[in-house]
Structure 1
Amino acid sequence: MTQPLKDILVLDFSTLLPGPMATLMLSEAGAEVVKFERPGTGEDARHTDPMIDGESIGFAVLNQGKRSVALDLKAENAVNILRPLLEKADVLVEQFRPGVMGRLGLGYEAVRAINPGIVYCSITGYGQTGPKATAAGHDLNYVGDAGVLSLSRGPDAHPTMPFGLIADIGGGTYPAVVNILLALIARQKTGKGAHLDIAMAEGAFAFAYWAHAEGVIAGQDIENGGGRLTGGLARYRLYSAADGRQIAVGALEEKFWQAFCDVIDQPADLRDDWSDPEGCSAEVARRLGSQPSTHWEPLLVAADCCCSVVKTPAEAATDPHFSARGVFDRKLDISGKSVPALPLPIAPEFRVSKDVAGRAASLGEDNLHYGAEPRDSE
Structure 2
Amino acid sequence: MVMALEGIKVLDLSRLAPGPYCGMILGDLGAEVVRVEAMDKRARVEGVLGLSDELAEMFRAFNPQGRNKKSIILDLHKDEGREVFFRLAEETDVILEEFRPGVVERLGIGYEKVKEINPQVVYCSITGYGQNGPYAGLPGHDLNYISTAGLFSAVKDDEGRPVIPSNLMADMAGGGMHAALCILAALVARSLHGVGQYVDCAMTDGVVSLMHLEPLLQRTESLSGLPYYNVYETRDGKWFSVGNVEPWLWENFCRALDREDLIPMQRDTEKYPELSSILREIFKRKTREEWFEFFKDKDACAAPVYDIDEAGRDPHLRAREMFVDLEHEKFGKITQVGISMKLSGTPGRIRSFGASPGQHTEDILSDLGYSREEIDALRDNGAVA
| TM, length-normalised to structure 1 | 0.87
Note the 1:143-292 alignment, pairs <5 A: 143-156=146-159, 159-162=162-165, 165-214=168-217, 220=219, 227-231=221-225, 233-266=226-259, 268=261, 271-275=264-268, 276-292=271-287
Residues 52, 335 of structure 1: 8 Å contact kept: no
CA distance in 2, matches of 1:122, 1:20: 13
Match of 1:366 in 2: 360
Question: 1:295 Cα shift?
Answer: 3.4
Match of 2:369 in 1: none
CA distance in 1, matches of 2:121, 2:16: 23
SS state of the match for residue 39, structure 2? coil
| TM, length-normalised to structure 2 | 0.86
Change in 2 beyond 3 A, CA 1:326/1:50: farther
Question: 1:271 Cα shift?
Answer: 4.8
Unaligned runs of 5+ in 2: 366-374
Match of 2:59 in 1: 57
RMSD across aligned positions (CA):
2.7
Q: Which moved more, 1:204-213 or 1:305-314?
A: 204-213
Deviation readout 1:329-348 (Å, 9 max, x if unpaired): 36263744231222232325
Question: 1:234 Cα shift?
Answer: 0.7
SS state of the match for residue 311, structure 1? coil
Residues 116, 192 of structure 1: 8 Å contact kept: yes
- Which has the larger helix fraction? 2
2:120 to 117, 120, 142: 117
CA distance in 1, matches of 2:195, 2:161: 51
CA distance in 2, matches of 1:22, 1:306: 32
Deviation readout 1:252-304 (Å, 9 max, x if unpaired): 11122122223334471685132222221121112212433243222122313
Residues 149, 162 of structure 1: 8 Å contact kept: no
Q: In the alignment, is residue 350 of structure 1 matched against residue 342 of structure 2? A: no
AA aligned to 1:338 is: K
CA distance in 2, matches of 1:318, 1:49: 30
AA aligned to 1:104 is: L
Deviation readout 1:146-188 (Å, 9 max, x if unpaired): 1122112113376432256111111111221112112112222
CA distance in 2, matches of 1:353, 1:63: 14
AA aligned to 2:211 is: A
Match of 1:19 in 2: 19
Residues 270, 283 of structure 1: 8 Å contact kept: no
Residues 89, 118 of structure 2: 8 Å contact kept: yes
AA aligned to 1:255 is: W
Question: 1:90 Cα shift?
Answer: 0.8
